[in-house]
Amino acid sequence: MRKLALILLLLVAAKPAAADTWIVSSGESIQAAVDAAAPGDTVVVRPGTWSGPGGLALVHVRTSGLILRASRSAVLDASGYRYGVLVGDDAPSTPDGCPPMTVRGFESKGFTIRDAGHTGLRLAGVDGFALTDGVYLDNAQHGTSPFCSSHGQIAGNYAAGHAGAAIQVGGSSHVVVENNSVTTSAIGIGIENSTHALVRKNQLFGNSAGLLVAVLPGRPVPLTDRVRIEENSIIENNLAKPLAPDGGAGVGAIPTGAGILNAGGDHVSIERNVILGNDSFGVAAFASPFARLDARCDPFVDDQSVKRNVILLNGHDPDPLRAATPGADIVFVPDLIDFANGRLVERDPDSSDNCYGDNRFFTDSPMEVTGSLACP
């Protein structure tokens, strides 16, 4: 009996403590609850509006395994803050490599996050995350932006009013972006210098550009590779852009009226999307004009496949300041071109690894280029 009692005592001692739930009501501090919570705990925020004097982040999460939950009636007014919510430790983007993963496991469900000076919800060095059912409004650059993070999901969110990509994935891997609605932003969704991303079943409408896949210089990850773009609706992204063509760290150079633009991404699969009424083009692939500023980057699009899409009524009114090719449903420019003067900078050594097949479209540029690159 003594032995049995000792075994039971050891089992009880070894059992992990039950996770706690912290309730934050209007007038109380979300940050205080976050700081008091242990890994695995849940912080539930009641409806209300939270603001503060300004600084780095209205809410800063450094604890692994934390869950934040609220309805969309819980509003984080991040005016005066760089971020509404920051998960991990903020670090500048440099070519020297990503900062270490400091947070393992994070979930945010609900909330309305608005008016941050840079990004509504920023993740930096987070492995394993889910951002669902939120609203991101009028944050200066991005609604949500995982940076140097991995194994995450961004799903069921609404975002509007951003000067960069409303949903931005940068320097990250294995991120799923699905079932989001994005409008009135410079770019709906951006996948930059990231690998193994899946973008599916999103509604991108009324932005300046719908979806960008790009390779940019000076980033910790020097390539964008293995991106799947499936079953999205990308419709009438013709919002006039306030930026000059040379403004916004490259964002200003993207033509207004862009459906999907792949600028230097490799192994990009674009399938079963509906792409309608974008004034400059429906789907375009260009060598990245920015990648040549970084010797580690290959600017050319390799192994792209565009199949079984509906790409119609695009390219009827190309952006006069930025569109460097005739308007069309499908545009393919494999060589590296200086679009400011039309000068050839470098030829793609082999563009035949890209293919098009079973798409419904009317126009392509150069004419019949899709026929010369038919998928096997």
pLDDT at 323: 74
In the sheet that holds 355-357, the strands lie side by side as: 21-24, 42-45, 66-70, 103-109, 126-132, 150-155, 173-178, 195-200, 225-230, 266-271, 305-307, 355-357
Q: Which domain holds residue 294?
A: 215-376
Full-model pTM: 0.93
The answer as to whether 136 is a domain residue is: no
The strand pair at 281-286 and 126-132 is best described as unpaired
- Whether residue 230 lies inside any domain: the answer is yes
Task: Kindly give the pairing relationship between strand 209-214 and strand 310-312.
Answer: unpaired
Q: Do the domain assignments include residue 154?
A: no
What is the model's pLDDT at position 91?
A: 81
Give per-residue pLDDT as tens, 133-182: 999 999 999 999 999 999 999 999 999 999 999 999 999 999 999 999 99
| Domain assignment present for 38 | no
Residue with tokens 């991990």: 88
Is residue 352 assigned to a domain?
Answer: yes
So what's the pLDDT on residue 248? Answer: 61
- Looking at the structure of the chain, the number of domains it has is 1
Whole-number Å distance between alpha carbons of 49 and 231: 36
What are the start-end ranges of the H helices in the chain? Answer: 2-14, 30-36, 369-372
How would you write the pLDDT of the chain (376 residues) with one tens digit per residue?
A: 344 343 333 333 343 457 899 999 999 999 999 999 999 999 999 999 999 999 999 999 999 999 999 999 999 999 999 999 999 999 877 888 898 999 999 999 999 999 999 999 999 999 999 999 999 999 999 999 999 999 999 999 999 999 999 999 999 999 999 999 999 999 999 999 999 999 999 999 999 999 999 999 999 999 999 999 999 999 999 999 777 766 666 677 889 999 999 999 999 999 999 999 999 999 999 999 888 889 999 999 999 999 999 999 999 999 888 777 889 999 999 998 876 677 888 999 999 999 999 999 999 999 999 999 999 8
Residue 247 is predicted with a pLDDT of 67
Whether residue 224 is contained in a domain is answered as yes
228 within domain boundaries: yes
Tell me, what's the pLDDT at 45? Answer: 98
- Give a yes or no: residue 12 inside a domain: no
Q: Tell me the C-alpha distance between 150 and 128, whole Å.
A: 6
